[in-house]
Structure 1
Amino acid sequence: MPLLELPNDILISILQELELPGLSVLSRTCKALEALVNNFGWADYRRRHPRPSHSLASAQTLWSSKFHVRYDTLADRSWKHSRCRTDFVARPLARPWKGKLQPVLAINDSRLVVACGTTIYFYIFVASASDEVSSVEFERAVVLSGHSGRRRDITAVTFINGLKETLLVGFQNGEIEEVVFEDDTVKLFSRDLSDLHVGGVVEHLSYDNNMLLSLSSDGLAALTNLSVSPCTSAGVELQKRSWVSHLCMQSSTPYAAYGTSSVTPLAIHSITNGGLTQTPTVVLGMKGYTTTTTPSSAVYGICRAPLAAPWGSSPEIIVSGWYDGQVRCYDLRSALRGPSVSGSHSPLLPVLYLSDPLQYEPIYSVSCGGGSSSHVAAGSARHSVVSFWDIRSPAKGWSVHAPGNDSSPVYDIILESSRLFGATQSRPFVFDFGPGVSTRTYPHIPRPERDGLKKGRNFGYYVTQYIHRPSA
């Protein structure tokens, strides 16, 4: 029977088994099959090969499925080439700030937020045509002053879902406030949970499925249900210097992960009946230490593993950045255990280690995504270095300095399919691996005589880059 005489549902089932080369060849066979691939094949391929990206979401609503696949394919190719050469655009997003600040980032489908000191900088994503990428345009800067006029630095930010676009902001004095975007204006509200962390720095905010996890530097973790009024909170005292949290409500057993400074710096607390367990459910350890030699360490970054991780796309796989310069990946379903530490349960051991052989500095930030949804990115504590690894081939990592090449930490990063947003003590920046970057894609930055930047090619700036080579 000729292929075209088969029912459409059979042909569509065949398309679902084809990868990119097969779909491409089939679409060039005849007009009937080209129409079938355009109508069904490319959309199904996108579904099977997701490339999450907040900053491109507005543009993707205008793209055809074929253009979408083409964009992702070219971006993936740039990621492969970038290990050998600078096949991406590196740009600052702002002039250097005055002083040395510790910025934090947040993102949703509409905006990128960069918060540092007392100021929040808003960048909006704009899509103007069906064959263009979203441009990143500077929208406004808002200074959040305290009620008593005292300075209070911003230390944590996260977007939450709702009828209005809302950003939660944590401060150095323990307050948490709500920034709402309404009718092209920004309004500031105090939340009922503002007094949860009074006396301590709000170190981190995590949001997932109407639940907010707030963490203070002195170790108070509070889980707040934002879907009810008034908000209800349940807390746990970690009794450790705390740095970062990660909230996951999609797991079969929802959990919160905490990064602290201690002998057991990374621990999992299960969420049951809307509250946190008071003791860790799982302690995540370091390989190669015994009960008597386990050193104190710290974890500064936690995120979910990339979707194309070899262990699957489960939310129970997490990536963490450590004080010793290692990035450790854990599978919470694993049975790989080490010796007990400080009388606790036997710690879960990593399933993968990642590191830059030339960098011994702490890892301050981690994020996952990138080409083929298989990359891990880590921001170092010095020299504005961001390191990348394809988790499917972790020995072939590479690193790059942020534009300006200063001695700053990379305090925060957000990795998407084709873009990495980051921030040093001096300014925010972006690495763009996608096609179609033009002079309109990113804000124009007036340049003073000495800004530490060297003009590169393709609308970007020169950045220093090197390949990871095994130490002798």
Structure 2
Amino acid sequence: MGPVLLLLPEEILLLILSYLDRQALGRLSQVCKKLRHYTSRDSVWRRIARRCLNTGFLQQGADMISVIPVKERVRVSQNWKYGRCERNVILKWKRNLMPWLQVDGDLLYLTQAEEIRAYQLHPNGSGLHRRPYAVLLGHQEDVCRFVVTNSHIISGGGDGKIALHKVHSSVSIQFSAHEQDVNCVDCHGGIIVSGSRDRTARVWSLSSAADAQCLHTIQTDDRVWSIAINPLLSGQLINCLGTEFKRGAGVLDVCYETPSILLSCGYDTYIRYWDLRTSTRRCVREWEEPHDSVLYCMQSDGNYMIATGSSYYGVVRLWDKRMNRCLQSFSLSCPTSSPVYSLRFTTSRLYAALATTLHLLDFTVSSHQFTTL
């Protein structure tokens, strides 16, 4: 079989191989060196990768990663699916905090009370350098949340202020934004939005932030805990989502997968999937946290996988949107209990921030380290 295939033109051979499944490609790669070479090509694995969890392929078909071979991403994806990972505590601190984190390239940003600390990640993914690469100051009280853009780190704090820190610089600007805690911020295209305990959401221009000029104030019926900008919509109210829910079922995290797909989670223990293209803009699907825990944070791979952090025992859950139940779960804080206040994942690793610890789940491990699948 092998020599016959090798007589085909390369384009035809790669096309045929692209229709094989993962097991067939694995067996064929053992026939000879030439077939091993062809069965490792990215074009052969793309169709498989688009159906797998967290391989860097978005719903629109775009490939967000060009460095890691697609075959390797499929292998790591199987580790996500079956929960195969190494767990490590990579950072500890003494006080109980409510940390928020972001990962941007080889830097991990983590709030520590009134500071935002930037840590350099190790190239091999084993952890981070314990000494901060940079420390960003600008608040008199704890930083609630922040967002990283190409040019700025924008944070909101318990002092009611928004701070703008210029990337790779010590320059920062602070201005009073709300009468109470700024619980959340987001930024896109030079526009900043902020939400507060004072029951308002406000819109600011990044270019005029030094003058503290508010472009628009939106009055809400309750405290604003999470906020996100849709890059394709104007700043006018189109609809209210979830008005039929009981009081107290507040949203703690929200994110756009696409301009028309929105995910939310919060106090009522559900992940909700909103399709903004429908005329009613209602929730079209939902997943319930099995232990009835509040969901503090979440992230999507833009395709099939969602990761959530819950309020009890530092539980991180992985969800496959094609399934009705949780795919995998990891308890990070037994026997004591702490919420997962924030989490972020790449195609190979997940970082979770608890009250006193930062955890790393590394999914690049080899499957032979595990006795069961």
Same fold (TM over 0.5): yes
Mean Cα displacement is larger for which, 383-392 or 13-22? 13-22
Report if the CA contact (8 A) 2:81-2:328 is conserved: no
Partner of 1:138: 130
Which of 239, 242, 251 lines up with 1:282 in the alignment? Answer: 239
Which of 111, 122, 126 lines up with 1:126 in the alignment? Answer: 122
Report if the CA contact (8 A) 2:40-2:71 is conserved: no
TM-aligned CA deviation for residue 159 of structure 1: 0.9
Partner of 2:269: 325
Which of 213, 238, 259 lines up with 2:219 in the alignment? Answer: 238
Separation in structure 1 between the aligned mates of residue 45 and residue 190 of structure 2, nearest angstrom: 30
TM-aligned CA deviation for residue 51 of structure 1: 2.1
Report if the CA contact (8 A) 2:116-2:137 is conserved: no
Question: RMSD in angstroms over aligned alpha carbons?
Answer: 3.7
**Structure 1 residues 40 and 106 mapped into 2: Cα distance closer, same or farther (>3 Å)?**
closer
> Is 2:96 the partner of 1:69?
no
Gap regions ≥5 residues in structure 1: 54-59, 255-270, 306-313, 338-347, 438-456, 459-472
Separation in structure 1 between the aligned mates of residue 122 and residue 133 of structure 2, nearest angstrom: 18
**Structure 1 residues 228 and 161 mapped into 2: Cα distance closer, same or farther (>3 Å)?**
farther
TM-aligned CA deviation for residue 410 of structure 1: 1.9
TM-aligned CA deviation for residue 108 of structure 1: 0.8
> Is 2:284 the partner of 1:351?
yes
Report if the CA contact (8 A) 1:19-1:45 is conserved: no
TM-aligned CA deviation for residue 417 of structure 1: 3.0
Report if the CA contact (8 A) 1:206-1:246 is conserved: yes
Letter in structure 1 aligned against 2:141? R
Trace 1:13-162 onto structure 2 (pairs within 5 A): 13-41=15-43, 44=46, 48=50, 51-52=55-56, 63=68, 65=69, 69-70=71-72, 72-82=73-83, 87-98=84-95, 100-127=96-123, 132-133=124-125, 135-140=127-132, 151-162=140-151
Separation in structure 2 between the aligned mates of residue 324 and residue 233 of structure 1, nearest angstrom: 32
Tell me the secondary structure at the aligned position of residue 140 of structure 1: coil
Letter in structure 2 aligned against 1:170? G
Separation in structure 2 between the aligned mates of residue 181 and residue 115 of structure 1, nearest angstrom: 16
Separation in structure 2 between the aligned mates of residue 210 and residue 24 of structure 1, nearest angstrom: 48
Separation in structure 1 between the aligned mates of residue 17 and residue 187 of structure 2, nearest angstrom: 38
Separation in structure 1 between the aligned mates of residue 207 and residue 56 of structure 2, nearest angstrom: 26
Separation in structure 1 between the aligned mates of residue 290 and residue 34 of structure 2, nearest angstrom: 54
Tell me the secondary structure at the aligned position of residue 204 of structure 1: strand
TM-score (norm 1): 0.64
Separation in structure 2 between the aligned mates of residue 404 and residue 11 of structure 1, nearest angstrom: 52
Letter in structure 2 aligned against 1:368? S
Report if the CA contact (8 A) 1:133-1:436 is conserved: no
> Is 2:283 the partner of 1:303?
no
> Is 2:230 the partner of 1:248?
yes
Alpha-carbon deviations, 1:74-127, whole Å to 9, x = none? 333333333xxxx322222222322x2221111211211110312333222232
Which of 150, 155, 158 lines up with 1:169 in the alignment? Answer: 155
Letter in structure 2 aligned against 1:20? R
TM-aligned CA deviation for residue 242 of structure 1: 0.6
Report if the CA contact (8 A) 2:91-2:357 is conserved: yes
**Structure 1 residues 384 and 37 mapped into 2: Cα distance closer, same or farther (>3 Å)?**
closer
Separation in structure 2 between the aligned mates of residue 303 and residue 409 of structure 1, nearest angstrom: 20
Separation in structure 2 between the aligned mates of residue 356 and residue 392 of structure 1, nearest angstrom: 16
Separation in structure 1 between the aligned mates of residue 44 and residue 206 of structure 2, nearest angstrom: 38
TM-aligned CA deviation for residue 11 of structure 1: 4.0
Question: How many corresponding residue pairs?
Answer: 355
